[in-house]
Structure formats: C-alpha cells, structure tokens
A and B are shown apart, each in its own frame.
Chain A
Amino acid sequence: MYVNKIYSKKFILPALIIFFLLFLLPSILGFYYSLTNWNSMSENIKFIGLANFKEIFSDTGNFIFMKNTLMYAFFTTVLKVIIGLGLALMLNEGIKSKGLLRTIYFLPIIISNLIVGIMFQQVLHPANGILNHALEFIGLSSWTQAWLEDPSWVMWSTIGVEVWKSAGFVMIIFLAGLQTVPKETIEASDMDGANYWNKLIKIIVPSIAPSILINTLLSIISGLKVFDVIFALTNGGPGRFSEVINITIFNQFSMGNYGYSTALGVIMFIFLAIISIGIIMIFTRKETNS
C-alpha cells in the first residue's frame, strides 16, 4: 500500500499510452487486417480469412525475399560477430591509439543509412567505383564485379555494407565483455606456456559468452528487420534479387495492397516474437538474480 502510494502507477501511464497506441495497437490490429482484402481501391474492407497468407506462400516468386532475408540475417550475424571479436581482441591491449581507433571503427553506426547507401552505390560502381579500382590496383582485376548489378553478387554486397556499418558496434560490446576476462587466469596460463589460440578458446571465449549471445541476438533481430540500408543501396534490385521482407512490405504498401502488406507484417511479427520471448526470458532471469 505504502509502496503504491509513493511510486504511483500514474507515472507509467504516459509512456504506456504512447507506446500502446502507436506501436502495440497497430501490431494487434495487424492480426485482424491481415485477414481482410483491405486495399486503396475499394472503400469497404472484406474479411477473407487466410487468403492473403495462402497467396504469400503459394506465390513461388516470393521465395526470393524469404531466402534473402534469412541469408542476410544469418551471414551478417556470423561475419559481424567474427570481425567484431577480431577487432575487439586487436584493440583490447597493447595499442596506444586505442581510443581514437575505437572512435573511427564505431563511426559508421551513427551515420544515416541513407547516406551509407548512396555512398556505397558509388563505392561499388562497376566502372568507376573505388572498390574495383582498388582491386585492379593490387593486381586482382579478375576479382572485380558488378557488385550491385550482378544477381549472384548483390546480396553479398548488401551483407558487406552492413558488416562495414555495424562491425564497430559489435566490437564495442565485445570490448566491454573482454574487461571481465580474469587477468590471473591469463597470467597463469602464460606461465604454463599456453599459446594464444589455446588461451582464446579455453579462457577468453568462455568468459565472454554473454557478449557473444547478446551480439548474436541483436544482429539476428536487426538482420531480419533490415529495410533502409537495402532500400537506399539497391531498392531490392536488380529485379527482386536483393528484396527482403521489409522491402516487399513497403512495395505492397505503395501499391495499395494494405491487407497483403499487413499479412507480411504479421508473419514477421510472429517470427520475431518467438525470438524476443527467448530474449526477454534471458533478460528477466538475470534481473531477478541480482
């Protein structure tokens, strides 16, 4: 009683109302509208059951965006975690200009994805782009590609841009995690003459397991939700070869197929909700322990 009086629930209300009305409610409404033929052409919205979902899964042309989304989420996560860990281990000790380097590696994460996209359209340009020029310069002319125009390369290019953008963020989380590695154990293993690889696998990686988990989960989630980087870089092209689910949602929205677009949103919601429940369980379990 006493606690409820000082810490009035009224304080939670403003945040909850804004969040509920403009985030939660639309998601809940999505479940209803995904079962309708809602579109920009007709005024009345008709209930059509699971027809939208049937259409999504029976249209074989749609497999490409499902494949692309999963491929993007998977490979950006693997590459970001490996490269981020590599950068963190490199900067963790022994380097004098660590602070400045950290600032540079982290820089891309705060730049608007639109600028990153437009910038990399030029970097990856087949004839003029500096990436192909650099490859030619070091004698690897055969490696040059039409990075954004070649259907077999375009997804890898978008993955590369995301890794360029976010590896520094992953690095920062690993750097924080590396501070928890017990110094005594490392020193003891040095005495025993352990080599670096052994120390990495047996001591460092186990003690930074929490940051590996967090980085993996965050990367998977942001990978599945990706929109702006790919929109600015290729807008899903050439054809639909770099289309991911959020691009499809936007295109269907622009065409006025609201019901269909919402159904896609619901599929994404369910997919991510399963992952998020797992994460919340991890978060709250830690909270009650402390």
Chain B
Amino acid sequence: MKKRKRYLNITKEVFAWVLSLVILVPFLMVLLNSVKSVTEAATMSLALPTEIKFSNYVEVLKDKRIYTSFFNSLFLSTAASLITLIVSSMAAFVISRNRSRFNMVIYSIFLLGLVAPMNYVTTMKVMQILNIINTYTGVYLLYSAIFIPFTVFLYFGFIGSIPKELDEAAVIDGCKGGGLFYKIIFPLLKPVTVTAVIINFLNCWNDFVIPLYFLNSSGKWGMIMVMYNYFSTYISSWNLVSAAMILNLLPIIIVYAIGQKYIISGMTAGAVKG
C-alpha cells in the first residue's frame, strides 16, 4: 500500500514537470530566437541556433528609445504605486476602524471599482476638462484610480487583524489622527504594503491599454508600448523582436523572483478573504 503510494507520487511529479513545459516552451522559443540570425529566426522554431548572436541585443540596446521608455515605465509605475499606497492605506484604516453605515457605503463604492469596467471615452473627456490629458500626471493618477479599489480592499482585510487596543493606548499617550496612523499603524502594515506595491507596480509596468487610449506622444511611452511599436517596425526581424521581448521580460521576472511570496499572498488574499 505504502509502496504503491510512493510510486503514484513519483508518477505525479514527473507528469507535473512534463506539464510545466507547456508554460516554459513558449518562453524558451523566444529566448532561443533572440540569439539567432535573421534568417534562422524567421521561422521561430525551437531549433538551436547555429551561432549564438548576442549582437541582436546590442542592436536593440542601440535604440535610444529603450532607455527613455525604461525610465518612463519606472517613473509611472513608481508614482502610481506610491500614490495608490498612501491614499488607499489611509482610507482603508478609517473605514476599517469606524464601520459606520456611511463608511460601509463608501467601501461598497470602492468595491464597485473591482468589477465595473472603465469607460475610456468619457474618461478622456474628464481628463480634457481637468487638463491632464496626454500628461504624466494624468496617466499616473488614472492608474491610481484603477488600483485604489483593490488596494483598499487588501488593506481593509489586513487592518481588521490589528488589535484596536493599540489605537486606544496610542490615543491615551497623546497620538492623534495622522500621528496615530503614520507612527503606530502604518509600520505594522508592512507585509501588505510590500504586496500592494509589487502588484500595482507590475500591473502598471505591464499595461498598454492606458497609453493606447491616453498617451499620444511616443516620448512618454513605457517599455511595453515601445516594444509594441518596435514589433510593428521590425516585423520581419524576429531575432530583434525576440531580443526586445527578453529585455522586456527581464525586469518583470526579476521582480517576480524577488517578490513572488508577496505577489501570490496578495493575489490570493484579495480573492479569498473577501
């Protein structure tokens, strides 16, 4: 009986690894073709390159747009995730601690944002009225508006697990409103803060729908958008497109490797705790 179980587990493990190839092979395909010559990469096959050409990467890195777009991505993702984090944690703190009927209505309004679709066309109108269309400010505020519901939701669940007696003790010691939050509560929220920052940062970095609708000037585009452009310009040079894709994947995979624990816990908490 025991032996049979062990045999079964080994079969299961082998099967799981074979299955993981379904995920890994497409990435391997891009990686292989990123070091091939133009003619070899034309078919995007899994054949090994006859000669490893790192010159594809050099070629891609010669394009100055890569650097500006990298810093655009970095700036937009950082600004959007920081603003989201600050405003959402404050809002979630008050809503979670004072669950009055009014506050719960506000919370429901935030939750609506998790499900309701964005109306891009009228968003454009509002951004025109606010005079932030086609600007960095407009774009990172828009990202914040999109991320706030999920982030408030994430913080709300976590703050509920921090004892309220802590607040009372702090108030007796003379801490009030802002001081109470920033000095006492906010440091305790570190795990969920890291999670929120990583998830929002990645979502912002990966997005190309917002620039597609709202950023006409290519000088303000992030890496993903520039790669899209690159893809249509170099449609016949798949070796270069592949190299550009790998360069785009690198920052994302590095963040995933470092923050994996936080990403998974945040995404599941967001889904399960509710």
Contact = CB atoms under 8 A, between A and B. Distances in A.
A181 B22 CA distance: 29
Contacts of B212: 250
Contacts, number: 265
A87 B22 CA distance: 13
A91 B274 contact: no
A47 B74 CA distance: 43
Interface in A265-287: 265-266, 268-269, 272-273, 275-276, 279-280, 282-284, 286
Given A15-B90, A27-B122, A221-B115, A6 B272 contact: no
Nearest to B260: A103
Contact of A16 (B83, B106, B167, B208): B106
Interface string B226-264: 011001000000100100010011001000100010011
Contact of B167 (A6, A21, A129, A265): A6
Interface of B: 5, 8-9, 12-13, 15-17, 19-20, 22-27, 29-30, 42-46, 83, 86-88, 90-91, 93-95, 97-98, 100, 103-104, 106, 108-123, 125-127, 130, 141-142, 144-146, 148-149, 152, 160, 167, 171, 176-177, 180-181, 202, 205-209, 212-213, 224, 227-228, 231, 238, 241, 245, 248-249, 252, 256, 260, 263-264, 267-268, 271-272, 274
Tell me if A's interface is mostly helix, strand, loop or mixed.
Answer: helix
Given A6-B171, A21-B130, A26-B123, A11 B22 contact: no
Contact of B141 (A22, A215, A280, A282): A22
Interface in A27-57: 27, 29-30, 33
A177 interface: yes
A128 B26 contact: no
Q: 4 tightest CB-CB pairs across the interface, nearest first?
A: A276-B115, A112-B206, A22-B145, A15-B91
Contacts of A111: 206, 249, 252
Contacts of A176: 268, 272
B175 to A, nearest CB: 9
Contact of B98 (A4, A91, A273): A4
Nearest to A214: B271
Contacts of A276: 111-112, 114-116
A15 B202 contact: no
B245 A16 contact: no
Contacts of A173: 268, 271-272
Contact of A172 (B115, B176, B231, B264): B264
Contact of B177 (A8, A169, A279): A8
Interface in A144-199: 164, 168-169, 172-173, 176-177
A104 interface: yes
A192 to B, nearest CB: 15
A265 to B, nearest CB: 4
A279 B113 CA distance: 12
Contact of B91 (A12, A95, A268): A12
5 contacts: A12-B94, A94-B8, A122-B238, A261-B121, A280-B111
Contacts of B19: 87
Contacts of B149: 19
A195 to B, nearest CB: 14
Contacts of B208: 112-114, 228
Contact of A279 (B25, B115, B152, B249): B115
